[in-house]
Amino acid sequence: MKRMEVIPSARRLIGSLRDIGYDLPVAVADLVDNSIAAGATTIQLDMCFEGADSWIRLSDDGSGMSEGALVEAFRFGTRRYYDADELGKFGLGLKAASLSQCKRLTVASRSTLRGRTRAARWDLDHIESTDRWEVIRLRARDCVLATMPLRGTTGTVVLWERLDRILRFKSHRGQRALHEFAGLEKEIEEHLAMVFHRYLAREARRRLPLTICINGRPILPWDPFARHESNTRALSEQRLALIDGSAAHRVVVRPYVLPSGARFSTPTAHRAAAGPQHWNRQQGFYFYRNDRMIQGGGWNRLRTSDEHTKLARISVDFSASADQLFELNVSKTQVRVPLGLRAQLATIASSVARIAQDAYRGSSNGSQGTDLVAARLEAVRELVGMVIAGVQAVVAEELGQESVKGIKISKRISDLERTLVKEVINLTEAQSSPNGVVAGRPLGASASLNSPPITSLAATRHAVIGKRRASF
Ligand SMILES: Nc1ncnc2c1ncn2[C@@H]1O[C@H](COP(=O)(O)OP(=O)(O)OP(=O)(O)O)[C@@H](O)[C@H]1O
Ligand SMILES: [Mg+2]
């Protein structure tokens, strides 16, 4: 059999990769990932406005790259192995993120204090004219802007020039251009403060401290859950098992209900807690992969965002080993909730939303634990009702509404519903500690672990939904 290697057109492929879903803050975050992975403790982001010659530069004091590693870093689809706790995955971020924003990417790196600083460049104009996957090697003195921050330190510098996707104004020199460029700094700052808040606050599993400065100013972490506010309610943590064949991935869910405006310590604290997308769009799930936030807010089609539930925010932690199930995208901004988690997350979301509604309306009766148990029971009742209604509809469709067999089955399903609800209530109450806080595994977790009634509930639901081809 004859085989041929067909190499992609560099011009066409790199051109297309510019548009795979990065915006400026997201692209910068991808560079920060790399610096964190390289053990950096200080990351400097400099943005310099010089009209058409404006540039953006990210410098870190991490381990830097050897000659071979630097060349490999330039490959689209870097060949390398990743540990389960790493932030990288695709071998694309450095190139795809950078070239989504600029036409000239220069990387300088130094891995030992005694060693040389090495530098190389992807230049889209060169690729456009040659249509070749050709990286340009540079002498340190030919790219001083990129090598300067490495004087006296190890680390890596990423320099973006020819910012065609950022400088979109007609006149690159005008006041308006300057103003817009300055505005980008705030957008980046807010995004990094959110995405890396655990690293900046030393709450990540990685032990090293991290400072990110933007034009010399350190970025402060933004905690989506306003945990420093005394009226924020941390509801019981839920540990779920996501089953994948014979493996089980642990997913940790921590729900919070933030205080309503008047119950914040100060109006400034309330404004700060709103977040980059503001209250309504910041409600929902916050997915973290190895402590790095992937998604900040949104209900992933498990419910709709609503003014009344805007105080509900729920962190969901998963590790890189579950990437496939979460369908992580290249720019690391999105996940899909795996099928095996949907029912459980929907139940939790619905319970937390109920408590958030109460908080929104200003009610603060009862202890947190009792509220959560009551809300969860209500949510489970609703879920049981929905599943049963779905099963009833399928039975009616298959057997006909009037058939004797159909009526008999329908009656048995109704009996089953009553038994199910009873069992669920008993189970929940049994799991409650004396003060009403649910201890140990939550209902949702039980569903995939060892509780027959709910397991069958979730399974039935999926079966019904699969059969009816409805989206959840
Ligand atoms: N700041 C840095 N310091 C040290 N090494 C780096 C740095 N940036 C990139 N690298 C090296 O270059 C490689 C390629 O980086 P790139 O961001 O393109 O892909 P990745 O991080 O492996 O995966 P992903 O596409 O998920 O980001 C990295 O795996 C790392 O080995
Ligand atoms: Mg990367």
* Tens-binned pLDDT, residue by residue, of the chain (472 aa): 899 999 999 999 999 999 998 999 999 999 999 999 999 999 999 999 998 899 999 999 999 999 999 999 999 999 999 988 899 999 999 999 999 999 999 999 999 999 999 999 999 999 999 999 999 999 999 999 999 999 999 999 999 999 999 987 766 667 888 888 999 999 999 999 999 999 999 999 988 999 999 999 999 999 999 999 999 999 999 999 999 988 899 999 999 999 999 999 999 999 999 999 999 999 999 999 999 999 999 999 999 999 999 999 999 999 999 999 999 999 999 999 999 999 999 999 999 999 999 999 985 444 444 456 666 666 666 666 666 766 766 776 677 656 777 777 777 777 777 677 667 666 655 554 443 333 333 333 333 322 323 333 333 333 333 333 332 2
Which of the listed residues 30, 32, 34, 112 should we mutate to test ligand 1's pocket, taking the one with most ligand atoms within 8 A of CB?
34
From the centroid of its chain, how far is CA 105?
A: 26
Cβ–ligand 1 contact at 75 (below 6 Å): no
Q: Answer whether residue 4 is part of any domain.
A: no
Residue whose CA lies nearest to ligand 1 atom number 6: 34
pLDDT of residue 93: 97
With beta carbons less than 8 A apart as the criterion, state whether 176 and 116 touch.
no
- State phi, psi for 257 to the nearest 5 degrees: -120, 120
Residue whose CA lies nearest to ligand 1 atom number 9: 34
> What's the 91 CA to ligand 2 centre distance in angstroms?
6
Q: Answer whether residue 1 is part of any domain.
A: no
173 & 269 share domain: no
Cβ–ligand 1 contact at 90 (below 6 Å): yes
282 & 350 share domain: yes
pLDDT of residue 134: 97
Helices 339-361/452-468 angle, 10° precision: 100
- CB under 8 A, 24+ apart: contacts of 334-340: 334/294, 334/295, 335/287, 335/289, 335/294, 335/295, 335/300, 336/300, 337/285, 337/300, 337/301, 337/302, 338/242, 339/462, 340/242, 340/243, 340/244, 340/448
**Which ligand sits nearest to residue 332's alpha carbon?**
1
Q: Which tokens hold the place of 235?
A: 């509801």
Domain boundary among 187, 218, 249: 218
- Mapped onto helix, strand or coil, the DSSP state of residue 108 is strand
Cβ–ligand 1 contact at 157 (below 6 Å): no
User: Which CATH number covers residue 245?
Assistant: 3.30.230
173 & 227 share domain: no
Task: Report CA dihedral (337, 82, 248, 304) to the nearest 10 degrees.
Answer: -10
310 & 426 share domain: no
Q: Answer whether residue 132 is part of any domain.
A: yes
50 & 188 share domain: yes
Q: Which residues are paired to 218 by β-bridges?
A: 213
Q: Answer whether residue 334 is part of any domain.
A: yes
Cβ–ligand 1 contact at 66 (below 6 Å): no
Range of the domain at 437: 366-472
The torsion region of residue 436 among left (phi > 0), alpha (psi -120 to 50) and beta comes to: left
208 & 237 share domain: no
> What's the 53 CA to ligand 1 centre distance in angstroms?
26
Cβ–ligand 1 contact at 58 (below 6 Å): no
Q: Answer whether residue 3 is part of any domain.
A: no
Residues 6+ apart with CB under 8 A from 319: 84, 85, 249, 250, 289, 290
> What's the 225 CA to ligand 2 centre distance in angstroms?
27
Q: Answer whether residue 2 is part of any domain.
A: no
With beta carbons less than 8 A apart as the criterion, state whether 192 and 139 touch.
no
Give alpha helix (H) positions in 323-367: 323-326, 339-361
Which of the listed residues 94, 100, 294 should we mutate to test ligand 1's pocket, taking the one with most ligand atoms within 8 A of CB?
94
Q: Where are the beta strands (DSSP E) in 209-264?
A: 211-214, 217-218, 233-234, 238-244, 247-257
Q: Which of 335, 332, 314, 333 is nearest to 324 (CA)?
A: 335
Q: Which of 471, 470, 438, 443 is nearest to 457 (CA)?
A: 443
Q: Which of 354, 322, 330 is nearest to 252 (CA)?
A: 322
330 & 207 share domain: no
96 & 177 share domain: yes
Q: Answer whether residue 405 is part of any domain.
A: yes
CA distance 41 to 80: 23
Residue identified by tokens 């989504």 is 100
- State phi, psi for 348 to the nearest 5 degrees: -60, -45
> What's the 28 CA to ligand 2 centre distance in angstroms?
10
> What's the 382 CA to ligand 1 centre distance in angstroms?
46
CA distance 364 to 40: 44
Residues 6+ apart with CB under 8 A from 95: 17, 74, 76, 105, 122
210 & 230 share domain: no
Residue identified by tokens 């300055």 is 182
350 & 446 share domain: no
Residue whose CA lies nearest to ligand 1 atom number 19: 91
pLDDT of residue 219: 98
Count up the domains in the chain and report the number.
3
Q: Answer whether residue 117 is part of any domain.
A: yes
- Mapped onto helix, strand or coil, the DSSP state of residue 335 is coil
Cβ–ligand 1 contact at 39 (below 6 Å): no
CB atoms within 10 A of CB 68: 8
Residues 6+ apart with CB under 8 A from 327: 335, 336
CA distance 247 to 332: 24
With beta carbons less than 8 A apart as the criterion, state whether 368 and 401 touch.
no
pLDDT of residue 470: 30
196 & 230 share domain: no
User: Which CATH number covers residue 52?
Assistant: 3.30.565.10
> What's the 216 CA to ligand 1 centre distance in angstroms?
24
213 & 228 share domain: no
Give every strand in the sheet of 211-214, ordered side by side.
Answer: 136-138, 118-123, 104-110, 155-161, 55-60, 42-48, 211-214, 217-218
Residue whose CA lies nearest to ligand 1 atom number 14: 73
Residues 6+ apart with CB under 8 A from 205: 85, 290, 291
> What's the 72 CA to ligand 1 centre distance in angstroms?
9
Q: Which tokens hold the place of 376?
A: 């969860």
pLDDT in tens, 293-315: 999 999 999 999 999 999 999 99
Residue identified by tokens 């890596």 is 156
Q: Which tokens hold the place of 444?
A: 């949702």
Which of the listed residues 41, 78, 118, 326 should we mutate to test ligand 1's pocket, taking the one with most ligand atoms within 8 A of CB?
78
> What's the 435 CA to ligand 1 centre distance in angstroms?
49
Cβ–ligand 1 contact at 189 (below 6 Å): no
For residue 73, the ligand 1 atom closest to its alpha carbon is 12
Domain boundary among 218, 246, 265: 218
Domain boundary among 311, 340, 362: 362
